[in-house]
């Protein structure tokens, strides 16, 4: 099934919100379409992320979200690929790959250093990442501090 990848804008909010909500549910969060919609509205309003949306016959089937950041060591901008999701009914059809390729092209067009992502140890998408040229970082640990 062919899919079209577009850069999502605020007019795609209704198409994106259910996908974002499903993504959160996939990661064991309670469903909350209103919160997902508000979160996306804020991203569009603040222009602090880049979203690509996959459409298959005009049906929203997946998305990827990038956040701009910087590498101080290399003195270059980077994107953090924070979210990648494909609707369960549309997996294994190349949509995830198309979304990743669109992200890579977007990054190259802007002369950014590259894309960073983190994923679960058991995420089967790792083989896709590696096939598309992503390299697993084995030189450092990632830590996260949670504010109380």
* pLDDT tier, 141 (very low <50, low <70, confident <90, very high otherwise): confident
Which residue shows structure tokens 């992502």? 117
Mean pLDDT of 84-112: 96
Structure tokens given for 53: 């949306």
Mean pLDDT of 50-68: 97
CA atoms within 13 A on the CB side of 19: 26
CA atoms within 13 A on the CB side of 86: 18
Predicted pLDDT at 62: 98
Q: What is the pLDDT of residues 25-50, one digit of tens each?
A: 999 999 999 999 999 999 999 999 99
pLDDT value at 106 more than 80: yes
pLDDT value at 125 more than 90: no
**Crossing angle (nearest 10°) for helices 33-46 and 13-26:** 120
Predicted pLDDT at 146: 86
The percent of the chain in helix, strand and coil, each rounded to the nearest 5, is: 35, 25, 40
Mean pLDDT of 70-80: 96
- Domain 4-131 in CATH: superfamily? Gcn5-related N-acetyltransferase (GNAT) (3.40.630.30)
Contact status, residue 107 vs residue 80, Cβ threshold 8 Å: no
Predicted pLDDT at 101: 96
CA distance 15 to 18: 7
**pTM of the full predicted structure?**
0.92
């Amino acid at each position: 099934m062919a899919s079209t990848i577009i850069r999502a804008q605020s007019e795609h909010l209704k198409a994106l919100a259910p996908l974002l909500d499903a993504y959160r549910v996939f990661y064991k969060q309670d469903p909350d379409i209103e919160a997902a919609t508000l979160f996306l509205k804020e991203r569009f309003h603040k222009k602090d992320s880049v979203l690509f949306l996959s459409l298959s016959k005009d049906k929203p089937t997946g998305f990827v979200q990038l956040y701009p950041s910087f590498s101080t060591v290399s003195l270059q901008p980077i994107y953090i690929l924070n979210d990648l999701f494909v609707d369960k009914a549309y997996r294994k059809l190349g949509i995830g790959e198309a979304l990743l390729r669109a992200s890579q092209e977007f990054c190259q067009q802007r002369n950014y250093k590259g894309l960073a992502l983190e994923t679960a140890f058991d995420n089967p998408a790792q083989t896709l990442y590696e096939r598309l040229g992503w390299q697993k970082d084995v030189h450092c640990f990632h830590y996260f501090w949670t504010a109380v």
